[in-house]
Amino acid sequence: MDCLTYAGNLRNLTAVADKPGYTFTRANICDRAALDALLDEHRPRAILHFAAESHVDRSILGPEAFIETNIRGTFVLLEAARAYWKTLNSAEQQAFRFLHVSTDEVYGSLEPNDPPFCEETPYAPNSPYSASKAASDHLVRAYFHTYGLPTIITNCSNNYGPYHFPEKLIPLMITHALEGKPLPIYGDGMNVRDWLYVGDHCRALRLVLERGRPGETYNVGGRNERSNKEVVAALCAILDELRPDSPHAPHRQLIRYVKDRPGHDRRYAIDATKLEQELGWRAQETFETGLRKTVQWYLDNAEWVREVQSGSYRDWMDQNYTTRGEMAAQEHTR
């Protein structure tokens, strides 16, 4: 179920569209009547809650949508799940799971020598996005402790891979580099993130859904800390190799430093020991292998990229990055 806002794309699901277990419904998780009807019709054994507004920059420019979807939407979904769960028999109730997919950003920002986030790290969100996700985490936890709804929370580091909507760092840089556009890096480029290939995240979620303990939180991370500068340099090097005849090579010449965003967290890192030891999960992709697969996918799927770059997306890109570039240039000339 998805409401197909700006980043929603049914073409991403073409490979499973004919599978007997697949059904798509366009609806909003804030629509309680639609949720009740779907649960009554399909009688699921689990709910995986991925639905969220997820881009920090968008949350700074327009926080209300994040409050609506991430907090109110999670509340409505929990209420619908709780009502449905109460209709199940005892065995079905024991087997049911509500898996809430969240982010490492709820933990705030780390100093360079701080240990990575673990499941006991206190929450300290610093953006409207992370604050809204922290609130949704708290709601999910409360529904387990108050009502007994068998919920599980996962907090994951930055994902990357195929089908990534090109407003996030890696797909943005790939698509811009291929077009010879500037590669905008915030501030000094030394903000650090822990990168996880999306396929590894999906494998983790399958394990948590199958064997995770209700009421628990599991952190999912790739143990791949990289600064934004390092990420962009690495993908530029891959593009130089895979597209040596590009008129824009070497692609690093396209890098531009722009004004930093407000409240930009300096470092995230995840300690996935609990997930690794309890459920036996390990990331199968290194950052190097995962990034190469990702760059190759975007090279092989230029039509997909063209289709998702709609007018509304271009308008937002202009609003967010053009203004930052102008401000950075003004500061540089002072």
Please give the average per-residue pLDDT across 95-120, as a whole number: 97
Domain edges within the chain: 10-324
CB-based contacts of 139, cutoff 8 Å, min separation 6 = 71, 74, 75, 78
Q: What is the pLDDT of residue 229?
A: 97
pLDDT at 307 over 90: no
CB 99 within 8 A of CB 154: yes
Is 104 a residue of the active site?
yes
Is 129 a residue of the active site?
yes
CA separation, residue 314 to residues 85, 116, 170, 310 (Å): 42, 36, 17, 6
**Residue among 53, 57, 84, 105 flagged as catalytic:** 105
pLDDT at 102 over 90: yes
312 versus 253: the higher-pLDDT residue is 253
What CA–CA distance (Å, rounded) separates 120 from 77? 26
Percentage of the chain modeled with pLDDT above 70: 93
**Residue among 84, 129, 160, 321 flagged as catalytic:** 129
Q: What is the pLDDT of residue 320?
A: 66
Is 197 a residue of the active site?
no
**Residue among 53, 104, 265, 276 flagged as catalytic:** 104
**CATH architecture type of domain 10-324:** 3-Layer(aba) Sandwich (3.40)
Q: What is the pLDDT of residue 57?
A: 84
In a 3-state reduction of DSSP, which class is residue 283?
coil
